[in-house]
Amino acid sequence: MRALLFALLILALPLGAARAQTQPPATMVADALTVDAADRLIASGNVEVFFDGTRLSASQVMYDPATDTLQIVGPILIETADGQVFIADRAEIDPRLENGLLLGARLILDRQLQIAANRIDRVDGRYTQMTRASASSCAVCGTEDPLWEIRARRVIHDQDEQQLYFEDAQFRVRGVPILWLPRMRLPDPTLERATGLLIPQIRSSDLLGIGIKLPYFITLGDHRDLTLTPFLSPETRTLELRYRQAFAAGNIQVDAAISDDTLRPDETRYYLFADGTFDLGNDFRLDFTVQNVSDDGYLLDYGYSSADRLESGATISRVRQNDMFLGKGVTYQGLIPLTTSESTPQVLSDLHYERAIYPGLGGRATLSWDFETHIRTDDVGVERDVARFGIGADWTGSRTTSSGLAFRYGAGLAVDAYATWDDPSAEEFIGRATPWATTVVSFPLARTEATGATQVIEPVIAFSWSESLGGTPINEDGTRSEFDEANLIALSRFGGEDRSETGFRIAAGGSWSRLSPDGWSARLTLGKLWQDTPADDYTLSSGLDGMYSDFLIAGQLALPNGLSVDGRALFDAGFRPTKSEVRVDWQAPRFDLGAAYTWLDADTEEDRPTAVSEWEIEGAYRINTNWEVGLTSRYDVAADEPAEAGLRVNWQNECVTVELSASRRFTSSTTVQPSTDFGLTIGLAGFSAQGVGAIPARSCTN
């Protein structure tokens, strides 16, 4: 039995008194401990040695004070404080486990990469030299060759630099040599950032042909890095770039590409996206974005983005408990033929300040001012420029009676001044005042069932009045309005400041919700609006055109098995749907599935000459721990033709990740044309900080 627990101070004695003061003693546990005639200390039987965070276990350990070495008989297991694991048959090493050699040994790094060698030499606790070595992160069963391995005459691991250096290296797949390199350097899996090649990607496209992307990552210190990715194919020569930098008060990222291709042979094509966020102090925050592209089709041709409009600008904001400031300047670049300066001014700016005051009478008072400009810089469409300055004041309060009837009420006044240039049809200067008042009454009722489920029914009715006194400006910022459960009892359904509903209005509706302790919940909302003065600027499909709004129905359902449904619809007087959308998501241990359907009536005022009816489906199915299949699809039901389709097949084990993808875009315009893309990516575990995920290693069977 294990009879001895001994603090092995003898190991430190040969180092001298000065060294002994700085080196902690080793601790040994063994079944038996003897000292021979040569004063050699021999521990045998389930030996374990602990020294400065390092643990050694073996069948026998012999300490020779004459040479200050440990001679160890295996099986040997050494686990260092920094996570390295050594497995060996025999070893001769110093008591600090920093220098020596191991025979028939393996080194395991970060529980990912194992390097087997005939001999391992440890030098100064930093360098590990492995002779006639084989490196792989794949499970090795008996004499079977691993799925992949790197064989080398010599491998040196620099523990401080976290680098692996290979000499006379062969990359093998199932034992077959594929590639030979005289020298090679790779990061070990414990290194988070290192200069070097990243995982290549093969891409095939109808437009760009078959090409390869070779990303190269460059560290520029602890807080900056640069990734350069050449993309070469018969149809293009492209260089992609990503730059990232972290500062003490923020960070920036720049993504860009420049191309010389056969699609537009006489042009240099490019794009530039940059984003940043900074803390300016005193609770102020700066956010900026820059987006620019050489032509309307470049982003889609290369798969960088499907955006139909680019935005560049900066925002300075400060949000505190009782006040808020926002300063914003934005420019837009439209990428679709329907984008005009009439619908989207090229330059917008906005300054806004708001402060909340809590008077002693109760409730809350809010004071605000706002300055906004819309500038059009080209001669496409109209050339109208507009500036608006507005101030506002309001007061809101609430009260609940003893019977549970809840009241929310408020009143306010907004005053605006408009200046308009370069539009002969518009008045040059306009002043407007908008007084308003509102009262919302609700009566929530709740009950708890015997099962513990809670139901809440809340009928609500909102009475609102407002008036616009003075001139009528051109509607610049409220041209697209939607009627939904979020603005059912709002003062106005317009999304901007240029328009507000006028006259007397009544919004009525209610909601029912149920929350069950077994994990499922449901909510249903109904609503309708009556207005004595219908707004002229609501579109036909907004659900708000006319004295009576469309009937609103919205609902959500969540089940404990991971199934959730979220939908809303508008119905006209004949109970015909004018707008509807529904989304279904199902998350299960083996699969994720999402499906959405959208129906929009035709509306020329919203640049939609025909109805929109479209399905969108996306999902992933995990066949087993190694295989996963994913798909995406968009189908235009109105046109009875597909819009987009994609398929992804992923295979991975403990040491390899392979992803094959295919996608097809069927839509076309004057700037883009249909295309099919194929992609292939292969990643090897063991040389990446990310690894390949929680994939169990395959088991070996006899």
With contact defined as beta carbons under 8 Å apart, do 360 and 330 qualify? no
**pLDDT higher for 482 or 417?**
417
| Per-residue pLDDT band at 378 (split at 50, 70, 90) | low
pLDDT of residue 425: 82
Burial of 63 (0-12, 13-18, 19+ CB in 10 A): buried
Residue closest to 597 by CA, chosen among 580, 611, 621, 572: 580
pLDDT of residue 681: 86
Query: CATH 2.60.450.10: which residues of the chain?
Result: 4-190
Reading the block at residue 532, the tokens are 């004595």
Say how far apart CA 276 and CA 366 lie, in whole Å.
32
Tens of pLDDT, residues 595-607: 999 999 888 888 7
Helices then strands, counting H and E runs in the chain, come out as 2, 43
Residue 52 in this model has a pLDDT that exceeds 50 = yes
Residue 320 in this model has a pLDDT that exceeds 60 = yes
3-state secondary structure of 17: helix
Reading the block at residue 8, the tokens are 């092995």
Say how far apart CA 591 and CA 628 lie, in whole Å.
9
CATH architecture of 4-190: Sandwich (2.60)
Bridge partner residues of 375 (DSSP): 347
- State percent of the chain over pLDDT 90: 49
Reading the block at residue 45, the tokens are 């039987």
- CA 476 to each of CA 343, 433, 473, 651: distance values in angstroms, whole numbers, following the listed order: 8, 18, 9, 52
In the predicted model, what is the mean pLDDT of residues 628-633? 94
In the predicted model, what is the mean pLDDT of residues 562-576? 92
3-state secondary structure of 67: coil
| Per-residue pLDDT band at 7 (split at 50, 70, 90) | very low
With contact defined as beta carbons under 8 Å apart, do 114 and 622 qualify? no
Pairing outcome for strands 503-515 and 521-531: antiparallel
Q: What are phi and psi of 222, to 5 degrees?
A: -75, -15
**pLDDT higher for 23 or 423?**
423
- CA 568 to each of CA 135, 262, 582: distance values in angstroms, whole numbers, following the listed order: 57, 46, 6
